[in-house]
Structure 1
């Protein structure tokens, strides 16, 4: 392990039971193939990419694969126990975000309690939409209230939006950044980020295009959509988000992201193995050669921001 000993908040796990569940239904991740995964391969990749610890999560489509709510509860439990086993085997190298079976709110509450209290998960992963319902949905209020009560960390990963794919274009290429932005705006306009100030929310892939469009959202909301709301209040809630750099540490994205995000709110992400290692190297190069970091900014992205969120990983 060589400098910078990153903490990777956007790294994936592929539990066999989950891969088999997708295969049996003819599903994938928004037109993206499900790759092979093993803890040994993950640690090899991390050693080669300067990553000290990867916090693992199941990617889209999550654990609610059809209309079988009971099956989704069982799948969530199975993948979370598998992830916890990986953490027990490699406590310094692997962390875990637990999956929950939204839009089944009761099931999500039950699994949140089990994952955080019994399995010791580092947080919870939510898909950007649950069967087409976005995370500001009023029916999801009990889950947000419980996550806030626990001061939990929530990692939001995009899912395929409820619309057809562009021909020949898998959802991770374009639709995922759209869906991340859409659910984040839904949460802010629905009041989730203002009502629940103790929950910490990480948005994937640099927050989609939220940093770039934040002032569009705040200005048009306050002057056209809802004139009773102030632009600065919208911006305050948008700035509560954390952002990872997965597939987003580029010469065009980093200036906007760093100009918008609060200090310590930009965290390293790789998206491995759904983004192969050569893709990680491509974006790492931009991160490592970025010329305009202020003092301490690179260290905050690589590890210090995540250490503040996950004290057990602090060195």
Structure 2
């Protein structure tokens, strides 16, 4: 790609207050070190990778680190920092606001503030909030508020509530697992069918959801909930959007494109937690993939995201 055109919906920001708080608590991102970040380094990477705009989000472990009051304050500080970055470079950056789940009242209040006052482009939720998954009935007020606003919701994986595999950082395997777990929880608990106005983006090609979707739908309708047909479950699973971060590979991309609805695949880099070399590898595959339908590659790079983020449309 010879000019910056892509809209990257999976690009991370590292606000200094967030990095300092994690360091003080001895935390990282599931065994993955917190990298250096600056607006200038992000723009330099985007220029090299053909990215016009990066929609920024804080990654795991998010902003709720065990204390409700700390989580409220950290979410506000992180979101205000992100809003300033966007204000300084509105064409190059967007941002998903961090939400302090599982504190539901604070999560709703911060979502409203971020969307209405800070003009965030959506919100980011971790795949589980202190071990509670996103289909939890107690989270219903947040989903209702996000649906009323037809919000974009970016689901990023977090470490599942279980021990890490020895010698295996969570981003390597557990993150993929937890995205799938959270998405299925949203569908089985009816969130995706009750709230049709919000748009939910799953990280990393949806984990292994596209690969296993027909298993999920078939077993659900025959064993778990006979009142819901296979078609009902599939319809809800197909409501998700998917980013290509670390997933535009010879095996994953064909499965994703075979499952996702038209317009539901978006470009993602996962920078700076995924190194730029990884981005170059996946970009090359996207640029040389032989089986795209006419216009599909450009839609993934930009047009599909323009539908979700109209302010970024040219």
Question: Into which bin does the TM-score normalised by the smaller protein fall?
Answer: over 0.9
Match of 1:162 in 2: 161
Q: Hey, what's the Cα distance between the residues in 1 that align with 2:64 and 2:4?
A: 36
Instruction: State the secondary structure of the residue aligned to 1:201.
Output: strand
Report deviation, 1:228.
Answer: 1.4
The residue aligned with 2:36 is 36
For 2:237 and 2:84, locate their aligned partners in 1 and report how far apart those are by CA, in whole Å: 35
Is residue 148 of structure 1 aligned with residue 150 of structure 2? no
The residue correspondences of 1:207-226 to structure 2 (distance < 5 A) are 207-226=206-225
Match of 1:232 in 2: 231
- Equivalent residue number for residue 121 of structure 1: 120
1:272 aligns with 2:276: no
RMSD of aligned Cα (Å): 0.8
CA contact (8 A) 1:129 1:158 kept: yes
Q: Secondary structure at the match of 1:27?
A: coil
Question: Residue 14 of structure 1 corresponds to which residue in structure 2?
Answer: 14
Shift in Å, 1:3 = 3.8
Shift of 1:225: 1.3
Q: Is the 8 A contact 2:4 2:46 kept in 1?
A: no
Q: How big is each residue's C-alpha offset from its partner over 1:33-74, in whole Å with a ceiling of 9 and x where there is no partner?
A: 0000000000000000000000000000000012x1011000
Partner of 2:106: 107
The equivalent of 1:262 in structure 2 is 261
Counterparts of 1:308 and 1:113, CA distance in 2: 22
**Deviation digits for residues 148-176 of structure 1, max 9, x if unmatched?**
00000000000000001111110000000
Is 1:56 matched with 2:56? yes
> What are structure 2's unaligned runs of at least 5 residues?
none
In the alignment, the residues of structure 1 paired with residue 145 and residue 224 of structure 2 have an alpha-carbon distance, to the nearest angstrom, of: 30
CA contact (8 A) 2:9 2:267 kept: yes
Q: Is the 8 A contact 1:204 1:246 kept in 2?
A: yes
TM-score computed with the length of structure 2 as normaliser: 0.99
**How far off its partner does 1:4 sit?**
6.0
Counterpart CA distance in 2 for 1:263 and 1:295 is 12
Question: Which residue in the other structure is 2:92 paired with?
Answer: 93
Q: CA deviation at 1:141?
A: 0.2
For the Cα contact (< 8 Å) 1:4–1:302, is it kept in 2?
A: no
Deviation at 1:235, TM superposition (A): 0.2
Aligned counterpart, 2:199: 200
Q: Per the alignment, in what secondary structure is the counterpart of residue 165 of structure 1? A: coil
Q: CA offsets per residue over residues 206-225 of structure 1, 9 Å max, x none?
A: 00000000000000011111
Moved over 2 A (4+): 1-4
Q: Which residue of 2 aligns with 1:74?
A: 73
Size of the aligned set, in residue pairs, is: 314
SS, match of residue 278 in structure 1: helix
Distance 2:246 2:215 in 1: 23
Aligned partners of 1:282 and 1:176: how far apart in 2? 21
